[in-house]
Chain A
Amino acid sequence: MTNDFVIKVGTVNGSGSQTANMVLLRSLFQMGIPCSGKNVFPSNIAGLPTWFEIRLSPRGYAARRRGVDLLIAMNPASAAADLAEVLPGGAVIADEPLGLAGKRAGVTVHAVPFGRLVQACCPDPRLRRLVTNMLYVGVAGRLLGIDPAEIDAALSKGLQGKKKALELNRGAIEAGRKFAEENLPAAFPLRVERPAVNANAGKILVDGNAAAALGACFAGVGVFSWYPITPSTSLGDALTGYLEEHRTDPATGKATYAVIQSEDELAAIGMALGAGWAGARAMTATSGPGISLMGELAGFAYYAEIPVVIADIQRLGPSTGLPTRTAQGDLLQVATLSHGDTRHPMLFPSTVGEAYSMTQDAFDCAERWQTPVFLMSDLDLGMNLWTSDPFPYPERPLARGKVLSREDLAKASAFHRYADPDGDGIPYRTLPGTEGGRGAYFTRGSGHDEQARYTEDGETYRRVAERLLRKWETIRKEGPAPEVIAPGSPVGLLAFGTTWIPALEALDLLREESRVEPDACRVKGFPFHDAVRAFVAAHERVHVVEQNRDGQMRKLLAMEMPDLAPRLRSVLTYDGWPIDARRIADGILAGEKEPAR
């Protein structure tokens, strides 16, 4: 097999394998081979099993594919289970003491004495654990035919400026290569080759959290308040880095932004609300448990109409759940986060490009709609590396919404904070500190009338609540339309976020292997655009693909279009592994009562 297989590396968390795995992935990327990498890691600093999966796919499928063609087995704790995942005819590069040779019929095991090799190439015993991993890069590079120059370039990129580490690791890669050359068969069933067309020319390799951070940086975020939580932490870290580099005022060396690490998620959203209220672009990032804590203030922001962007990098829950595994399990919670009649818009990025662009959209939407806007990413998108076209520079000016300046206020006959002069349900606001004080008002989560005055009058409360519904319909109109592929099948597939990538692959599988060829709809936002309803209405059965147990997207669809609910089916995974095309295809075939392959 050439350029079309899966490599899985099983190592020990904290052993430095991430650097080695990045060299492997990056060297394949540089050769122009369509490839993607997924890091599967434990909730642990060091010692527990961790894995890295690399998929090479001539068609550019970036989703996970189950079944391993080449296993690199380095961890005694997971070796047996890892071996079981190898497909018949597959190969294993195994640390010799693991004794995997002959353990599985139909799988070729190449034992490598990593311990002995590392002693020879790394004189400092303290560094051997880290350097060992680089040896397998050399071994695998040789067996697969990865261009050594690309491995070296990838290593140099990974260890920028660290000359000593570079030399040491270069030596380890060479030692691994030499061992393979002298001891392992030259003919290997898996090969990589430079494709005729470089699939990665001009492309970038980036994770979704860094992409969202860039989006925020270029959307002019003013205050980012956050409490670290996996898997959103790298968004905060990346944003801090980008802001330091690109948002330091050149004239004064001072910051045009603030990053505040708060005491908890209640404070994180509280600070963001204070900042949004005061007129800065405000954002926080978190994951499910943080969303739970933010509930009360999210409802406040909805009712008091304060713009804020909340990135939810979803992980598998409830409770602590599997904090380092992916899910799309926060939809129902976020859609109505808080008590009472609350609704929140959500955006669902499917790619790193959208993590970047939708974060920018989220700021514009939050200020335009004066409400919290949730960016619903997940661990798979946020923490894994994806190939993408470079992100375009934002050409549209920042949309700051209906804010009345001092001059506007001087011309206006009156200012009523919660009135609806435009009929779109979106009121005008003023910012604290506006000189002269015209337009000053009192923000409160308790009952208020159109002039922001305290009230316990039921009729007034109802009027404001209904105006918020009017705003919700404006949001529906202005939110992103779905992506629809509909040649005219009676069967539909509906996906969103990271389920879309394997869903597209599943469409190919179904076309090639079955009589079921569904149309497809990718939901990009909530509330659902009218075109989503039209898609469901145009199909007899719609298979909703999602990564949670309870079919949360399906439930939201049923809530918003109860008349169409009987058409909806579910294809679900909720084991923490990114959903793959085979499961989607099989799930749809089962739903259609067609035999699975």
Chain B
Amino acid sequence: MSEVNRIGLGKDAYKGAKSTLCPGCGHDAITAGIAKALYESGVEPWRLAKMSGIGCSSKTPAYFSSGSWGFNACHGRMPPVATGAVIANRALLPLGVSGDGDTASIGLGHFAHAIRRNVPLCYVVENNGVYGLTKGQFSATADRGSKLKSGDENPLEPVDVCRLALELGCGFVARSFAADRRQLDEILKAALAHRGTAVVDVISPCVTFNNHEGSTKSYDWGDEHRKAVVEVGFVPAWETPEVEMAPGEVRSVEMPGGSHVTLRRIEAGFDTTDAGFAWSRLHAARGSGEFLTGIFHLATGRPAFDEALGLVDEPIASLPESRLRPSREALDKVMRSLM
């Protein structure tokens, strides 16, 4: 008998169509990570809403969990579409996959406002610093001084989606590297368990347009420079967390639903409870060649958008007519007030 997860599904249940991305694309590793995280977290595929925008990254929701509904929206518009979907049906688990073009350029406003609202949304940024489908222009996350294949150097400051998320009050801010599956898979499981907007910025090399010498989003550059500030662990609700590390060096955070995220400090003094600390540390790392990874900030408790809106428990989408249409008396009352 083949292996199954907590809800009795095999790994195949989380697979999707065959990827059409370039062999070796970082995005395919992330796809595999997502499928694994879904499997290990025991997510019911029909509850998952796969949301995306436009670009190589946004094609990937077709490549995992084919038993889930997906919505490949317009360029940059994933966050509002995901917002509408999860507000209409708060039982959904929206997983947004977008690229750096979507997130840091054409949809930057939506990214910011989704965080501001704390929309329940696991937002994975597949960040390669270039526009792949239009053949390799710099994106807004390209580092200053990073080089294109042609040798052209980027003279502009990048948009750091993690710092921006921290500034906007995001309760879950993480960065990982597509080639570091060990870390990525744990972060993805933790992000899926977060209630509210979770931003996971994954540096994901583009093998065709941004994997050369001089690029700061290449496999080699990432391997040489990445530096985890914490070691991330995820313990599902049905397992008991075993924490044997010295107090102060590890933080165990109980997530809604009863799972635990453990954050073992690697960089001395790194404080994942303090958004301001994380922001300053990332700001200091800017342009220094340090590629910091890990969960930078994790704070639970801020109400997610559906809670802030005071919605009924049941999905709005499934309310019967009797609860959607006010009574005859209600209309009479309005009419009398207008007479």
Contact = CB atoms under 8 A, between A and B. Distances in A.
Interface in A386-408: 390-391, 393-394, 397-398
Contact of B72 (A203, A257, A262, A446): A446
Given A249-B323, A275-B85, A435-B46, A258 B316 contact: yes
Given A279-B88, A397-B321, A252 B312 contact: yes
Contacts of B311: 254-255, 258
B325 A391 contact: no
B236 interface: no
Contact of A255 (B79, B309, B328): B309
B301 interface: no
Given A296-B74, A440-B67, A432 B85 contact: yes
B81 A444 contact: no
Contacts of A206: 338
B315 interface: yes
Given A249-B323, A275-B87, A280-B89, A432 B81 contact: no
Contacts of A340: none
Given A437-B45, A445-B73, A223 B84 contact: yes
Interface stretch (B140-148, B251-259, B265-273, B329-337): B329-337
B56 to A, nearest CB: 13
Contacts of B72: 442-446
Interface stretch (A119-127, A265-273, A519-527): A265-273
A270 B335 contact: no
Contacts of A225: 80, 84
A231 interface: no
B334 A242 contact: yes
A388 B250 CA distance: 69
Interface in B279-336: 309-313, 315-319, 321, 323-326, 328, 330-331, 334-335
B12 to A, nearest CB: 13
A61 to B, nearest CB: 21
B190 interface: no
B84 A273 contact: yes
A278 B89 contact: yes
B326 A217 contact: yes
A437 B87 contact: no
Given A242-B334, A255-B311, A280 B317 contact: yes
Contacts of B110: 263, 266-267, 270
B71 A263 contact: no
Nearest to B72: A444
B230 to A, nearest CB: 32
A256 B316 contact: yes
A467 interface: no
B334 A271 contact: no
B85 A278 contact: yes
Interface in B65-83: 66-74, 77, 79-83
Pick the most buried of B44, B84, B339: most chain A CB atoms within 10 A of its CB: B84
Contacts of B66: 440
A274 B85 contact: yes
Nearest to B317: A279
A286 to B, nearest CB: 14
Given A222-B316, A254-B311, A282 B84 contact: yes
A488 to B, nearest CB: 39
Contact of A445 (B74, B86, B113): B74
A441 B16 CA distance: 11
User: A-B pairs with the 10 shortest C-beta distances?
Assistant: A274-B84, A220-B324, A270-B80, A279-B317, A432-B69, A437-B46, A280-B88, A271-B84, A204-B338, A274-B85
20 contacts: A202-B339, A205-B339, A217-B326, A220-B321, A223-B88, A246-B334, A247-B326, A249-B323, A256-B319, A269-B80, A270-B74, A270-B81, A270-B84, A271-B87, A278-B49, A278-B88, A297-B74, A300-B74, A390-B335, A442-B61
Interface of A: 202-206, 214, 217-220, 222-223, 225, 242, 245-247, 249, 252-258, 260, 262-264, 266-282, 296-297, 300, 390-391, 393-394, 397-398, 430-437, 440-446, 454
